[in-house]
Amino acid sequence: MTYNYSFQGFDAKSMARIAGKDMPISSKNSIEIASFIRGKKVDTAIKHLQRVTEAKMAVPYKRFKRDIGHKPGKVGPGRYPRIASEYIIKLLENLKSQATGKGMDVTKLTVIHSAAQRGRKLWHYGRMRRQRKNTNFEIVAKEVEAKTEAKKTPPATKKVEAKK
């Protein structure tokens, strides 16, 4: 059974995928964290999210940024979603262990897809009837070779001889 919102074109031999279903975290925070870690190496993403849990680094908010103050540095509007970061760190560590089980090099592992969707709506038990925040989170990583940039040499300058 395939879902339209999940990652399409998954190759089981060269990619690793992990999904967290119905995690008790905010969907808005999860969407911002997903865009924050997309395109980063898995080790770097874990380090950044650990700094977020310590409130040393802010997650830039690009979509849900109304009435959010700017944070120090060149972040712009941002927050420190600690609880969501802790859950996503656990997912990233599980992703690393899955990749090592497949024989992949963890140092070259890069997040190529990360997405968060709203999960099931469950009710809190008791007199006050309110719904829980549940989120489904999916991460796909692939081994990507490091880009080596060749130093650009300036074009050879032609010496203009002065005519006498």
Which residues, other chains included, contact 130 with Cβ-Cβ below 8 Å and sequence gap of 6+? 123, 124
**What is the tens place of the pLDDT at every residue in 103-130?**
999 999 999 999 999 999 888 888 888 8
Residue 38 to residue 7: CA distance in whole angstroms: 13
Question: Could you tell me the pLDDT band of residue 12, with boundaries at 50, 70 and 90?
Answer: confident
The answer, yes or no, to whether residue 3 has pLDDT greater than 70, is: no
DSSP 3-state percent helix, strand, coil across the chain (nearest 5)? 30, 25, 50
Q: Which of the 8 DSSP states describes residue 81?
A: -
The answer, yes or no, to whether residue 141 has pLDDT greater than 60, is: yes
Q: What is the pLDDT of residue 49?
A: 97
The answer, yes or no, to whether residue 56 has pLDDT greater than 70, is: yes
Q: What is the pLDDT of residue 15?
A: 93
Which residue type sits at 161?
Answer: E
Collapsing DSSP to helix, strand or coil, 9 comes out as: coil
Question: Is residue 130 in some structural domain?
Answer: yes
CATH code, 106: 3.90.470.10
Question: Is residue 1 in some structural domain?
Answer: no
For residue 23, what are the domain limits? 15-143
Average pLDDT over residues 14-32: 94
Question: Is residue 148 in some structural domain?
Answer: no
CA separation (Å) from 134 to 23, 53, 83? Answer: 5, 20, 13
Residue 51 to residue 22: CA distance in whole angstroms: 25
Q: Which of the 8 DSSP states describes residue 83?
A: H
Which residues, other chains included, contact 85 with Cβ-Cβ below 8 Å and sequence gap of 6+? 33, 49, 50, 52, 53, 59
Which residue type sits at 134?
Answer: N
Question: Is residue 6 in some structural domain?
Answer: no
Question: Is residue 67 in some structural domain?
Answer: yes
Q: Provide the number of structural domains found in the chain.
A: 1
Torsion angle of C-alpha atoms 43, 44, 45, 51, degrees rounded to 10: 110
Question: Is residue 152 in some structural domain?
Answer: no
Mean of the per-residue pLDDT values for the chain? Answer: 88
Residue 69 has φ and ψ, to the nearest 5°, of -75, 160
Residue 134 to residue 13: CA distance in whole angstroms: 31
Residue 111 has φ and ψ, to the nearest 5°, of -75, 115
Question: Is residue 27 in some structural domain?
Answer: yes
Average pLDDT over residues 19-26: 94
- Give me the helix-helix angle, 27-37 and 42-53, nearest 10°: 140
